[in-house]
Amino acid sequence: MSTAKQVLEPAFQGAGQKPGTEIWRIENFNPVPLPKSDYGKFYCGDSYIVLQTTCNRGGAYHFDCHFWIGKDSSQDEAGTAAIKTIELDTMLGGRAVQHREPQGYESDMFISYFKPCIIPMEGGFASGFKTPEVDKFETRLYICKGKRAIRVKEVPFARSALNHDDVFILDTENKIYQFNGANSNIQERAKALEVIQHLKDKYHEGVCDVAIVDDGKLQAESDSGEFWVVFGGFAPIGKKVVSDDDVILETSPTKLYSINNGKLNLEDIVLTKSILENTKCFLLDCGSELFVWVGRVTQVDDRKAASAAVEEFIVKQNRPKTMRVTQVIQGYENHTFKSKFESWPLSATGNAGAEEGRGKVAALLKKKGDVKGGSKNSTPVNEEVPPLLEGGGKLEVWCVDDSAKTALQKEDLGKFHSGDCYIVLYTYHSGEKREEFYLTYWIGKDSVLEDQHMALQIANTMWNSMKGRPVLGRIYQGKEPPQFIALFQPMVILKGGISSGYKKSIEEKGLKDETYSSTGIALVHIQGTSVHNNKTLQVDAVSTSLSSTDCFVLQTGNSMFTWIGTTSSYEQQQWATKVAEFLKPGASVKHCKEGTESSTFWNPLGGKQNYTSKNATQDVVREPHLYTFSFRNGKLEVTEVFNFSQDDLLTEDVMILDTHGEVFVWMGQCVDTKEKQTAFETGQKYIDHEVAFEGLSPDVPLYKVTEGNEPCFFRTYFSWDNTRSVIHGNSFQKKLSLLFGMRSESGSKGSGDGGPTQRASALAALSSAFNPSSQDKQSNDRPRSSGDGGPTQRASALAALSSSLNTSSKPRSPQSRPGQGSQRAAAVAALSNVLTAEGSILSPRIGTSSQLQMKLVDIYFSLPSHINIRITLTLDMCCLHVVLYLDSLHHFLYRNS
């Protein structure tokens, strides 16, 4: 068997010792480290190895090894990259996931390391191609494909390369054009804008004009004319010619092959985890992609033989050379691989079965206690205080009983019965932001199904009546999230129930009603102590329920005791006193330490017996994941969005954010209403799937969140920019607004609906649009292309302003979002400022800019709430005309002139 020392490659020394990306290029059949300044540059004639090292919140290291094969790379170079990737994996302890990445067909994960895209360049080290001259600018045409992980390919600079179905970018020396085919996808258009920004920053030093050219709307705009002039004049473009790039491999029924001595044998059996033997390698053929599974005790030579066998399989099966291949090691299988099996039961030891690390890096990881997966010493979920809701809000709680809900009195807020279901509504303000709502329904573990269904129905009705603004959550007893617990100081879960459904259920089952009584005997367990983790639960009133690590409250008649475990904390002791006061206000409380109890304490518990002194098992931290999903033949299929950001929350989509502690179903503004109503059903199907394959708790909190109403505990998983949610329109329109400056440079993460920020952004954008000379002065006379971009920039600013003013096509109503009024007023103020600075001559029927300002503001705020306002702006020479349409009252403004 080859040892790590024997296969150690000098170039790999020190690899994987810290999180981040490391890249090697194959030169003369050896891996050579690439300078960090060259990261993201890939040449078509070369092959590369890319190592991505991540450290999860529990301290465990995870490795993804990719070998990228350029389209003009030789077969020998590609083979060397594959073999050297195996050696790198061996050095890392043999537990990395390996990925074969053909140029143009890279995995979403690979592309996510180099956002927004990679643009391979012609040439290479050993291919004989000449490296292109860096200083000489050359006009290029690119085609862009992909909704999130966008793939950019250079195509011949010719009109014949264009079509009606795709998005193209024409990069000239002084201007970048985006051509949107009439049938192109909105989300691809949006992602292409990110590519434009990338090209602008990388090849134009951040200074160049940008223009959008829409297929079919070509003659009216000067930008379109300029675009077609570059191609030698306008002429109709032809239909798309289908190429290999457009062939989408269909997912086919999976087939499993065992690999013995480099030979493949078909295993014609139902796919279950138990088939996979730890001494063998297997090939899983999914049609559109291939997986190689490696047993943890297979030899390095067997792994290399398996890799060669897969390459031979691709040729014999006439699969495209661009086929993606992923290799996973036993114990470190990824989500996609496991989902191909009928079942994937979790082992009791998690990843502890993975082989001991080999080589220098494995020894380092062993010191970290992480060679076996890092789950053993992971930190608890709630070690740090998570983002909590703003305090000082209004808290309302209702208990569900039959088809009605009964409001709880103030003194009972925080008391929950395990046999009941409750509706919780918290109304609060987040900084300067408009009113926000946190709406949840809580399900006791002993509650009846009728009450559970009614709780969902009532909560949904409330959610709909509030126009979908609240975050709506489903919370099961025992899995309360921090922001829910923090609302109650304290929160105590008591036995029994008060609903008629629960009472009827225990009567029919012949069970004793153990519902908590303020005059009876009750033992309450105090576990957590912080505001977000004060888990307090009534347990059986017997001494075996005690634990030396915690505190307890014993209620017996009118007497109250706090019992202090020997290893409990001072904070727990304080919390126990608070709970006793909460359950029986004004009662005197006796404090007894473990070992000093009197018979008065033990008698209500049936006498002293042995009890535990062990700490409760803590949940482990898992990394958050963002998914898109689809249904195929009724089965949920999820696709991960890697290295996700706020940009991946596309307004036309429904997304799933899984933090392992909570599951969020996020819905964009442009999602169909019916789809929004079924969000919980989708979320439940996802949970069912993850329970079977990833060990997710079936009782995990489930939330549905709408775009623009994301709570702080959702935003914390992103680098959040609040101003983006106030930009209306589809994905392309939103991204276009951002590209043209309708966003704070600092990317405000504070609260608020973007009022001051949006006002400043609008003002800056408009000032820039109508005062190009001042912009040039502020930018130190940086070079510009021919023409100052006035018409294009002004048109863009006008479009952005119109979008801001026309926030809704529906009539305004008292229930309309308060942020809309301030946003429109801010836009009007910004417009007035620009007009004043510009000194524009307005139509005599309207007046001067200052008069216009007063009229716009006065008219807007004097309108009845049911009147719909729509403002259109047109540019005619040096005069800006503003027309207000107030339903059918088209002459309203002129009558008030």
Judge whether 526 and 572 are in contact, CB under 8 Å: yes
Beta-carbon count within 10 A of 183 CB: 12
Res 498: pLDDT: 94
CB neighbours of 427 closer than 8 A, spacing ≥ 6?
A: 393, 394, 396, 435, 436, 437
Judge whether 213 and 178 are in contact, CB under 8 Å: yes
Q: Between these two residues, 253 and 325, which has the higher pLDDT value?
A: 325
Closest CA to 340 of 302, 265, 284, 407: 284
Distance set, CA 237 to CA 159, 163, 165 (Å): 7, 6, 11
Res 413: pLDDT: 95
At 675 the three-state DSSP class reads helix
Res 99: pLDDT: 93
Give the pTM: 0.76
At 143 the three-state DSSP class reads strand
R_g of the chain, CA atoms, integer Å: 32
pLDDT surpassing 80 at residue 496? yes
Closest CA to 191 of 643, 735, 733, 666: 735
Give the span between the Cα atoms of 561 and 559, in whole angstroms.
7
Q: What is the mean pLDDT of the chain?
A: 78
Q: Between these two residues, 531 and 515, which has the higher pLDDT value?
A: 515
Res 718: pLDDT: 94
Position 882 confidence tier, pLDDT thresholds 50, 70, 90? very low
Res 407: pLDDT: 96
Res 233: pLDDT: 85
CB neighbours of 580 closer than 8 A, spacing ≥ 6?
A: 553, 555, 560, 562, 587, 589
Query: Could you give the angle at the alpha carbon of 329 between the alpha carbons of 328 and 334, nearest 5°?
Result: 45
Give the span between the Cα atoms of 856 and 860, in whole angstroms.
6
Res 250: pLDDT: 59
Distance set, CA 597 to CA 523, 549, 592, 603, 716 (Å): 15, 16, 6, 11, 46
DSSP summary character for residue 604: G
Mode of pairing for the β-strands spanning 209-214 and 175-180: parallel
- Quickly list H helices, 105-234: 108-112, 186-203, 222-230
Res 332: pLDDT: 86
Which residues is 307 bridged to in the sheet? none
Res 217: pLDDT: 72
> Can you point out the beta strands (E) in 215-280?
255-260, 263-267
Judge whether 86 and 98 are in contact, CB under 8 Å: yes
Res 807: pLDDT: 41
SS (H, E, C) 772-825: HHHHHHHCCCCCCCCCCCHHHHHHHHHHHHHHHHCCCCCCCCCCCCHHHHHHHH
pLDDT surpassing 60 at residue 305? yes
- Lowest model confidence (mean pLDDT) among 313-322, 637-646, 660-669, 883-892: 883-892
User: What residue has token string 């608070």?
Assistant: 578
Query: Could you give the angle at the alpha carbon of 580 between the alpha carbons of 608 and 596, nearest 5°?
Result: 35
Q: Could you give the strand order of the β-sheet that contains 521-526, starting from the edge strand earlier in sequence?
A: 415-417, 491-494, 535-539, 521-526, 551-556, 559-564, 589-593
User: Letter for the amino acid at 774?
Assistant: S
Q: Which two tokens stand for residue 449?
A: 């199904």
pLDDT surpassing 60 at residue 875? no
Q: Which two tokens stand for residue 723?
A: 């101003």
Q: What is the mean pLDDT of residues 525-547?
A: 88
Q: What is the mean pLDDT of residues 607-630?
A: 81
pLDDT surpassing 80 at residue 821? no
Res 134: pLDDT: 54
Report which secondary-structure segment, H or E, holds 637: strand 635-641
Prior bond to 490 cis, omega within 30?
A: yes
Judge whether 276 and 262 are in contact, CB under 8 Å: no
Q: Between these two residues, 558 and 474, which has the higher pLDDT value?
A: 474
Prior bond to 116 cis, omega within 30?
A: yes
At 383 the three-state DSSP class reads coil
pLDDT surpassing 50 at residue 896? no
Judge whether 524 and 493 are in contact, CB under 8 Å: no
Closest CA to 480 of 695, 701, 660, 697: 701
Compute CA 815 distance to the chain's CA centroid, rounded to the nearest angstrom. 30
Q: What is the mean pLDDT of residues 696-721?
A: 94
Res 248: pLDDT: 58
Judge whether 443 and 680 are in contact, CB under 8 Å: no
User: What residue has token string 């931290």?
Assistant: 621
Position 740 confidence tier, pLDDT thresholds 50, 70, 90? low
CB neighbours of 339 closer than 8 A, spacing ≥ 6?
A: 637, 638, 689, 693
User: What residue has token string 């059918």?
Assistant: 888
pLDDT surpassing 70 at residue 636? yes
Closest CA to 587 of 556, 554, 558: 558
CB neighbours of 890 closer than 8 A, spacing ≥ 6?
A: none
